[in-house]
A and B are shown apart, each in its own frame.
Chain A
Amino acid sequence: MDSPRTSRLVGILENIVLVAIVLVVIQSFVEDLAELLDWSWGLRRNVLYAAFALDLFFSVEFLTRFYAAFVRGSARRYMQHERGWIDLVASIPLLLFASGPQLAAIATGGAAIVGVGRTLNLLKIIKAIRIARVLRLLRALKLFRNIKHTDSVITQNHVARLASLLVTTFVAVLMFFSLVDIVANLPGFERSFRERTLTIAGTIAEQGLADSSSESALRSFVAYEQSILVVRESGHTRFARYPNEVFSRQFGPGDYTWIRSGSVEVFVSLRPVFRNQSRDSLIYLLVIVSIIGVLLFLYAPFFCMTVSDPAYVMTRGMREAGYNLQVSLNEDGGDDEMTALARSYNEEFLPLKARNAEENAASDLTLDSLGDLLDPS
């Protein structure tokens, strides 16, 4: 039996978790919006820190819950029936494969993780990881119990099972195609960007565009290739799209790549690819939020109305002698099994109970309601 102090502490921690869940949903959207709206690197870096902090928080939360369940001998129950698997999927893998590597890339200037010049090969892997972040939204299922109409256990279980199946299937399909894309190198935005970018330095070198005499030809070329940030030839800068302060404010490690061909070096922005991925990711997030929203606000009330509420009323009626409210049935309601059961309860059980109650009348008082009346003083 928990002491009131322990219960209060648990209540506070649960509320902190709920706040973190709301924050993780917001963070997921902001991370993609930041890319689309071209936020400065400083702001985007803070959003990435927040992602790491939240993933770390949820990983610690999962490990704590799992350990507590393990000690109680109910680890399997926690994983299977108390949605522990959602806690797992939406925490440690994301920490290890999404926000953790991002933080490491920031700390090491990007080189340690992506490798100079090899970034383009990793674009599709980055895309797959971005998709995996959508799993964070599964945590929103934990908000169910705080929403009207979903306070019954069967509704929570039913809707949570449905939502997690739909979201997980959706993410699994996306992940599968991402992996197929990586292995089979399917045509697409990333592939065409990679192929075009890899030829940029060679084209500039072959056509001598970086020569001091070809300034106008170079300008025409970079006007066409908007992803080119800087062109250098033998250590001299021939073209810079922005002043240095703009580069340092807007670009972080991993936002660009570097390609060399002979004495020509070209710095190419990866932001168009990331923006494209963010747009897709935002669509995925919206799809999942819509699925969860529809389940929460349309399906859950319907389920309550047709299943859990009648079941609750009938259970009380059968357990409590003084409870005689009948199940509310729509006059032109259907003939499903629950309606038939509720009709039998209203039309057969309650009348029989009322007749028996003439002999076995019930009291609203219960032994539990006596408080300390029977305690020795």
Chain B
Amino acid sequence: MNSQIQTAAGFIARLLANPALKSYTPLQKEEQILQFLNANSAQLMPTLRSPQFFSGLPDHEITSLLITALTNTIDTEIPAFLDLILDRRVNFDFISFMTQRADSSAQSRDQVRKLVETMLSRPESRRALTGPLAAVYYGMSKKYLDELFQRRGYTHFELTKVQRLRMGREHVQAMLDVNIILKPAIYSVSGSEGGQSSYSSGLVQPAFAETARSLLLKRLPAVPDSVVASSVHANMSFVEHPSVEATARLASVFSARARGYQPNQRVDRGADTPDKSWFSVARRNYKFYGFDVKILDELYSVAAELLW
């Protein structure tokens, strides 16, 4: 059995070394390989059943071995990746600013990290973290908020006048990043403490969101209620619930955008840039995903003008 585990680990290591995955985050790599194994199992299995790989093992055991090896390998990269995200990419100082307590930033960071580690231990929430962590890793919120604040358009108005965020752009951006990270936290309360999840559609109803919010607040006592609420509301449809906060709407868009984000994607001649293409398609599908189409319009304009 040990040799088969080693074979699986070796096989996965070779897959992970593929240049096509080089610039992805660990969870994106994991998702790419899972999708690859899923899509190509019919072609791969005859070879994987052969003596030089997993001789005599049934297909489902081979798959299980490979997935375990993949998860174990990615898990070795996760601590450093989380250090990078939570210590360097996100500045939790905005929480001290909101709560007026100096120690709440560090406490919040530790609690968020603990929650993320819990989410990573469950397959469903682990999958859901791919997009949000990628969004923070690639600095999506900073990239766009800088522009949106400069333009002072619809999104800026929604953030500062409607949501009434009385803090600087850096703090808003940090809050947005935390919203993005905590958006899939709804998975960590579904099914157990949170009762039956309505998450199969990708969107939740207000009643479920309210339960999730109160459960999450118990796990994240140092994080302000408004931050947790905005994170949970990022899973609600703005089309059906126009009161959803602007930060939640942005978190929802950026999480979705980053899930399949390919850094350094080559733009073919005659094609639009990746972000412009994505926002354009999202504008068509805004009802399906519950996005705020006006925010998408503004992000589309930014991407189109700056060739992102």
Q: How far is the CA of A310 from the CA of B281 in the complex (A)?
A: 17
Q: How far is the CA of A310 from the CA of B44 in the complex (A)?
A: 34
Q: Does A355 contact B (CB under 8 A)?
A: yes
A305 to chain B, nearest CB (A): 7
B281 & A365 in contact (Cβ 8 Å cutoff): no
From B83-91, B155-163, B211-219, B270-278, give the one contacting chain A.
Answer: B270-278
A354 & B285 in contact (Cβ 8 Å cutoff): yes
Q: Does B154 contact A (CB under 8 A)?
A: no
Q: How many A-B residue contacts, CB cutoff 8 Å?
A: 99
Contact with B along A349-377 (1 / 0, CB 8 A): 01100110110011111110110011011
Q: Does B60 contact A (CB under 8 A)?
A: no
B21 & A365 in contact (Cβ 8 Å cutoff): yes
Q: How far is the CA of A313 from the CA of B50 in the complex (A)?
A: 39
Q: Does A164 contact B (CB under 8 A)?
A: no
Q: How far is the CA of A350 from the CA of B31 in the complex (A)?
A: 22
From B33-41, B107-115, B118-126, give the one contacting chain A.
Answer: B33-41
Q: Does A304 contact B (CB under 8 A)?
A: yes
Q: Does A328 contact B (CB under 8 A)?
A: yes
From B12-20, B164-172, B229-237, give the one contacting chain A.
Answer: B12-20
Residues of A close to B285: CB separation below 8 A: 351, 354-355
B278 & A324 in contact (Cβ 8 Å cutoff): yes
B277 & A326 in contact (Cβ 8 Å cutoff): yes
From B69-77, B173-181, B260-268, give the one contacting chain A.
Answer: B260-268
Q: Does A309 contact B (CB under 8 A)?
A: yes
Residues of A close to B31: CB separation below 8 A: 361
B52 & A313 in contact (Cβ 8 Å cutoff): no
Residues of A close to B270: CB separation below 8 A: 304-305, 308-310, 312-313, 327-328
Nearest B residue to A325 via CB reads B271
Interface centre among B20, B50, B268 (most CB of A within 10 A): B268
B272 & A327 in contact (Cβ 8 Å cutoff): yes
Number of A residues with CB within 8 Å of any CB on chain B: 36
B11 & A373 in contact (Cβ 8 Å cutoff): yes
Interface centre among A313, A322, A374 (most CB of B within 10 A): A374
CB within 8 Å for A364 and B21 given contacts A325-B274, A326-B271, A350-B281: yes
Q: How far is the CA of A365 from the CA of B202 in the complex (A)?
A: 26
Q: How far is the CA of A316 from the CA of B15 in the complex (A)?
A: 24
Residues of B close to A225: CB separation below 8 A: none
Q: How far is the CA of A74 from the CA of B228 in the complex (A)?
A: 70
B251 to chain A, nearest CB (A): 18
Contact with B along A308-337 (1 / 0, CB 8 A): 111011001000001011111000000000
B267 & A325 in contact (Cβ 8 Å cutoff): yes
Nearest A residue to B20 via CB reads A364
Contact partner, A362, options B39, B273, B277, B284, Cβ 8 Å: B39
Residues of B close to A351: CB separation below 8 A: 281, 284-285
Q: How far is the CA of A348 from the CA of B277 in the complex (A)?
A: 13
Q: How far is the CA of A128 from the CA of B16 in the complex (A)?
A: 68
Residues of B close to A313: CB separation below 8 A: 268, 270-271
B272 to chain A, nearest CB (A): 5
Q: How far is the CA of A25 from the CA of B281 in the complex (A)?
A: 49
A157 to chain B, nearest CB (A): 18
Q: Does B252 contact A (CB under 8 A)?
A: no
Interface centre among A364, A370, A374 (most CB of B within 10 A): A364
CB within 8 Å for A316 and B18 given contacts A365-B36, A367-B43: no
A347 & B284 in contact (Cβ 8 Å cutoff): yes
A365 & B18 in contact (Cβ 8 Å cutoff): yes
A142 to chain B, nearest CB (A): 22
Residues of A close to B282: CB separation below 8 A: 354
Q: How far is the CA of A270 from the CA of B142 in the complex (A)?
A: 80
Q: Does A346 contact B (CB under 8 A)?
A: yes
**New A-B pairs, 12, CB < 8 Å, besides A324-B281, A328-B272:** A309-B269, A312-B268, A313-B268, A325-B265, A327-B271, A354-B282, A362-B39, A363-B36, A364-B21, A367-B40, A369-B18, A369-B20
Q: Which A residues form the contact surface with B (CB < 8 A)?
A: 149, 304-305, 308-310, 312-313, 316, 322, 324-328, 346-347, 350-351, 354-355, 357-358, 361-367, 369-370, 373-374, 376-377
Q: Which B residues form the contact surface with A (CB < 8 A)?
A: 11, 14-15, 18, 20-21, 31-33, 35-36, 39-40, 43-44, 47, 50, 52, 202, 260, 262, 265, 267-274, 276-278, 280-282, 284-285, 288
